[in-house]
Amino acid sequence: MNPDRLRKTGILLVVAALLAGVAVVGLRWWSDRDRTDLQRAIDLAPGDGERFSWTDWGAVRAELGADLDADSPSTQVTDFLDAAYSADLSSTSALLESAQVLHVQFGFSPASADWELFSQSAAGAVVMLHLPEGTDWDRIRSRITNLGYTEPAETDGVWEGGSDVLARIGSSITPEVGYIALDEEDSLVFTSDTRDYLAEAVDDAIGDGSSIAGLQDVVDASGSPLSAAIYTGDLACGALAMGQADPDDQAQGEQLVREAGKVNAYTAFAMSVQPGLDLRVALSFETDEQARTNADSRAILAAGPAPGQGGAFSDRFSLGPVEADGRVVTLPLEPVEGSYVISDLSNGPVLFATC
């Protein structure tokens, strides 16, 4: 082949490869742009996760009119945390009791983070925090070094802390920050009480590890919540089970289920606080037919007595129109003033979440 033609062909191939790469990046950007923060966070979570606690701290601050950042005075942080607790917007956080210490000594906390996802499994637990643009990562590294954490050799490695470091920091610090990993490129902080599990979680998020499966339907149905409790079906059927109630309440629950009609085991469960502070429950099922059947039966259960919780569900919320969309059932809940619905009902027994 003519050398000039060969050279031109090579140039064209390089250009084509570059354009193809740009096209892939562009496609990913457009695809990611239309996804919620919760959807992105769940995709980053460890593949063995069973229970997920979501807090959109940026949205919570906006909902409560709190203008805070990493340099805000501690008194303002205290006021914000008190307001978030009163509004039942902070119960899903794993860092709530440590928030002041984190804010003052670590340089990241619920006062400045964009969002938090706490992921739990039989093997371990990990907290993911997304920090805002402009975060001073050098200051964070300096602070955790001064606290006694040992810096890893790799930039995405695990900072070694453990019980000795936490003991020096004080009793108000959670074991969940015993080990820390920083991903400055993606603006993420990972923490855990277990070194090895944290390393695996970081690999799942930014490496070649696995992602959680089976939650997409309820995560999609939850929209962009301020806070949420999300479970795999197997875990929810245990965590929310009527089996946790006393025998009389169990018997009443069984009778109420018989009267309501057929219920099927769901594949995933989510309860979320929406903007404006209404709540939404989403349950996914194996088939569309199961979803339609359970929309009717679970609407009856959610409007009736609450054995094991005391009183009736109507003491806690008013139930809106229950809908089945494909395999997903959604129950909109308007909380009664002064009730703490997500705090009270994210652990069992919860009759309308029975399997």
Whether residue 268 is contained in a domain is answered as yes
- The pLDDT assigned to 12 comes to 40
Query: Does 155 share its domain with 284?
Result: no
Evaluate whether residue 240 is within a structural domain: yes
Say if residue 197 is in the same domain as residue 154: yes
Phi first, then psi: give them for residue 25, nearest 5 degrees. -60, -45
Rounded distance between C-alpha atoms, residue 179 and residue 53, angstroms: 19
Q: Within this chain, do residues 200 and 220 fall inside the same structural domain, yes or no? A: no
Tell me, yes or no, whether 282 and 147 share the same domain: no
54 contacts 225 by C-beta, under 8 angstroms: yes
Q: What is the mean pLDDT, run by run of 10 residues, along the chain of 355 residues?
A: 46 40 37 84 96 98 97 97 97 96 97 98 98 97 98 95 96 96 97 97 83 93 98 95 93 97 97 97 98 98 97 97 98 96 94 96
Q: Do 277 and 256 sit in the same domain of this protein?
A: yes
Q: Which of 305, 319, 316 is nearest to 339 (CA)?
A: 316
Shared-domain flag, residues 156 and 238:
no
pLDDT given for residue 32 in this prediction = 65
Which pLDDT score, from 0 to 100, does residue 178 have? Answer: 98
Reference 236, options 279, 211, 270; nearest CA is 270
| Domain boundary, last residue among 170, 185, 206 | 206
The answer to whether residues 137 and 231 belong to one domain is no
Specify the residue for token string 């594949």. Answer: 267
**Cβ(60)–Cβ(196) under 8 Å?**
no
Whether 187 and 229 map to the same domain: the answer is no
Strands 188-192 and 125-130, sheet pairing: antiparallel
pLDDT value at position 206? 86
What is the number of structural domains in the chain? Answer: 2
Task: Please tell me whether residues 253 and 343 are part of one structural domain.
Answer: yes
Query: Per residue in 199-257, pLDDT tens?
Result: 999 998 987 767 788 999 999 999 999 999 999 999 999 999 998 899 999 999 999 99
Among candidate residues 179, 206, 233, the one where a domain is terminated: 206
Q: Is 31 part of a structural domain of the chain? A: no
For 4, 25, 261, 323, the CA distances from 8, given in Å and listed in that order, are: 6, 26, 72, 60
Print the domain residue range for 156: 37-206
Same domain, 239 and 106: no
Mean predicted lDDT score pLDDT of the chain: 91
Are residues 341 and 314 part of one domain? yes
Asked whether residue 186 falls in the same domain as residue 281, the answer is: no
| Predicted pLDDT at 209 | 67
